[in-house]
Amino acid sequence: MPGKLAALSALPATLLLAGCFGFGVSPTTMIEASDSGVLTPGIRMGIDLGYAGKGPPSQAHDGHALEIGWSRSAGDDQQAVASGQPPVRFGTQTFNAPAQLRHEFDFRFFEAAYRYRHFFGGNVGIEGLVGVAHTGLDFTVSSGAQRAAESLDSAGMIFGFGVIGRLRPGTAVHGRATLYAAGTYSDVSDARRFEISLVQSVGNHAALRAGYAFWRIDSEGESGSSDIKLKFSGPMLGLDLAF
């Protein structure tokens, strides 16, 4: 009897550990989508904190600033789930193998960061950024008559590093890497952006940006749902405002 009581008393703890470590949860196939032809428009606003430069604020320069940015990207991809693979679970739907899945996405990224730039006595400079961001990912999975859609949002921290080369006073080449990490393991858990662009000043407080951007976005599924690995790249166009 004492042995049976001890076994029964240990049952809740066993169930709790099973839930924590995923025991008893059926495996799923990861949702993978990649699109290399995505256009990413965006807008950025830089507010200098004590600017004392000689040129207009729209030209790349040293100093501290608050930078606010927004961008949006949309695309699609196909994924084949071969016979024998675990199902894809997303939203309220389970897509059993074999299946040909169609993925559609709409991704939005809003960021606000402290930025510091320093030029080394010439035309080459570096920048560092730290701040906060909010992501929004509308993702749809469909196959035949089945369709599931989810809106995945999260907020987190961003860290960035960039290199700037001034070709002339109003023209610069700008490369930047940005890392995003959320405080949650569901929805959008982390994102990475790499971009290279040509920036042309068109006035004292505005510049046009054109280049190429690479994104990778991860979302960890919860309650037995499939994880998402999303990659996309393509041309980027933007308007930079500077004050």
Confidence grade of residue 160 (pLDDT, cut at 50, 70, 90): very high
Q: Is the pLDDT of residue 18 over 60?
A: no
Kindly compute the dihedral angle of the four CA atoms of residues 168, 169, 175, 181, in this order, to the nearest 10 degrees: 180
Q: What's the pLDDT band for 185 if we cut at 50, 70, 90? A: low
Task: Identify the pLDDT of residue 101.
Answer: 97
Q: Is residue 222 over pLDDT 90?
A: no
Q: Is a pLDDT exceeding 70 seen at residue 6?
A: no
Share of the chain above pLDDT 90, in %: 76
Whether 17 shows a pLDDT value over 90: the answer reads no
Answer yes or no: are the C-beta atoms of 175 and 195 closer than 8 Å. Answer: yes
Name residue 12's amino acid: P
Q: Which domains does the chain have, with CATH numbers?
A: 30-242 (2.40.128)
188 in Cβ contact with 153 (< 8 Å): yes
7 pLDDT higher than 50: no
State how far the Cα of 208 lies from the Cα of 58, in Å rounded to an integer: 10
Structure confidence at residue 10 (pLDDT): 47
66: Cα within 13 Å, side-chain hemisphere: 6
- Please tell me the predicted confidence (pLDDT) of residue 224: 84
* Exposed / middle / buried, residue 84 (Cβ in 10 Å: 0-12, 13-18, 19+): exposed
In terms of pLDDT, which residue wins out, 220 or 23? 220
Please give the C-alpha separations between residue 52 and each of 44, 47, 49, 61, 116, in angstroms, as whole numbers.
21, 13, 9, 10, 14
Give rounded-to-5 percent helix, strand, coil for the chain.
10, 65, 30
Instruction: Find the angle CA(217)-CA(127)-CA(207) to the nearest 5 degrees.
Output: 85
